[in-house]
């Protein structure tokens, strides 16, 4: 009887493990249909345009409490709080200073095109062919040189001397001049299985913060991770998870660049942020260089929605109509 109970418990455990794994497989497959996308041309000049930046900052919507909250990647040690007696003027000045610091904290990561591979051969010395089976890497370790400008060369076993590729440059720079939080090899969290798990848990800001630490903005891996994260946020309409963070601007820019703003527009209309909805449409037309003949904000919204070919166009029209009805009611009262 005892052995029968043990066998039943063992079978139950195996079944539980099986169902757990099955559920994990099903849940992780939700994001496997997302395809990483890259900028087809350099978006940098458009991204740093003053008008574009103003729209992105408005859409980011600074929330002081969220900006200064405790975050996962910060120091885990608790600090003793400080208490001060202040006048009203001092409190106002302090709040203004905090807002300025918040704007600095929300400085957006640069948006650039994926860098081109390095294929620059300097010389070929056939006399060195077969000297060794390993590659030799020569690194200039002079202090004060930018990592992008540092001379790093590779001597191949066949005697070819060439500029090192990006992966080798990353390893050598991190070896001699390590950056806090960055590892020599790509962390496993960016592998598909673990990345999907993080996306399921909606750890968007943690993913993007980690990507900024590990990769350069023009790294193909960085843009793979960020594009999948942005697509997931849009599909799930989880914009609030990223709002008031430094990543919200690049998210909006990515959606605008790829003409995929309908979910974000609907979210703004439903939450009655009409000014931001108008800024989003203005940003869309600015990025894609579409002349709108100085239309008003209301006309911009109507123009975009009426010309939209999205599947949720009817929902956008209803949301816009609801806001217009509300505005009319408030005007009458």
Asked whether residue 50 is domain-assigned, the answer is: no
Asked if the structure places residue 138 within a domain, the reply is: yes
CB-based contacts of 60: which residues, under 8 Å, 6+ apart?
106, 243, 244, 245, 248, 249, 252
**What is the pLDDT confidence band of residue 330, given thresholds at 50, 70 and 90?**
confident
**DSSP conformation class of 284:** H
At 121, the pLDDT band (50, 70, 90 cuts) reads very high
Could you tell me the residue range of the domain that residue 141 belongs to?
121-164
| 155 domain residue, yes or no | yes
In sequence order, the β-bridge partners of residue 161 are 123, 155
Read off the pLDDT band of 24 (50, 70, 90).
very low
Per the prediction, the chain carries an average pLDDT of: 86
pLDDT at 235: 95
How far is the C-alpha of 195 from the C-alpha of 34, rounded, in Å? 12
Q: What is the pLDDT of residue 74?
A: 56
139, part of any domain? yes
Residue 290 lies in a domain: no
pLDDT of residue 320 exceeding 70, the answer is yes
Number of structural domains found in the chain: 1
Task: Say if 148 falls within a structural domain.
Answer: yes
Residues 6+ away with beta carbon under 8 Å from 206: 72, 73, 198
- Residue 83: is its pLDDT beyond 60? yes
Would the pLDDT of 173 be above 80? yes
Asked if residue 130 belongs to a domain, the reply is: yes
Is residue 75 situated within a structural domain?
no
Residue 298: pLDDT band (50, 70, 90) is confident
Using 50, 70 and 90 to split pLDDT, how confident is the model at 35?
A: confident
Checking if the pLDDT of 12 tops 50, the result is no
The pTM is what?
0.83
């Amino acid at each position: 009887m005892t052995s029968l109970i043990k066998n039943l418990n063992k079978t139950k455990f195996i079944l539980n493990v099986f169902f757990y794994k099955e559920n994990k497989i099903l849940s992780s497959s939700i994001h496997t249909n997302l395809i990483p996308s890259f900028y087809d041309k350099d978006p940098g000049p458009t991204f740093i345009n003053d008008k574009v930046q103003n729209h992105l900052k408005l859409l980011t919507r600074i929330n002081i409490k969220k900006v200064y909250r405790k975050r996962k990647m910060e120091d885990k040690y608790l600090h003793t709080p400080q208490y001060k007696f202040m006048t009203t003027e001092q409190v106002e000045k302090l709040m203004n200073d905090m807002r300025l610091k918040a704007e600095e904290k929300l400085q957006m990561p640069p948006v650039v095109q994926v860098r081109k591979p390095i294929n620059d051969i300097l010389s070929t010395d056939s006399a060195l062919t077969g000297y060794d089976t390993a590659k030799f890497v020569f690194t200039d370790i002079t202090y004060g040189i930018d990592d992008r400008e540092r001379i790093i060369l590779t001597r191949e076993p066949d005697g070819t001397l060439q500029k090192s590729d990006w992966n080798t440059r990353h390893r050598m720079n991190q070896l001699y001049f390590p950056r806090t939080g960055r590892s020599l090899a790509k962390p496993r969290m960016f592998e598909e299985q673990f990345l999907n798990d993080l996306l399921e848990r909606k750890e968007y800001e943690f993913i993007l913060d980690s990507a900024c630490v590990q990769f350069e903005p023009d790294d193909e891996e960085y843009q793979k991770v960020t594009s999948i994260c942005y697509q997931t946020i849009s599909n799930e309409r989880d914009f609030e998870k990223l709002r008031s963070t430094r990543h919200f601007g690049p998210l909006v820019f990515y959606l605008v660049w790829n003409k995929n703003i309908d979910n974000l527009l609907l979210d703004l209309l439903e939450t009655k942020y009409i000014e931001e909805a108008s800024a989003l449409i203005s940003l869309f037309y600015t990025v894609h260089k579409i002349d709108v003949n100085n239309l008003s904000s209301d006309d911009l919204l109507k123009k975009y929605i009426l010309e939209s070919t999205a599947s949720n166009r009817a929902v956008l029209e209803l949301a816009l109509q609801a806001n217009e009805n509300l505005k009319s009611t408030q005007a009458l009262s």
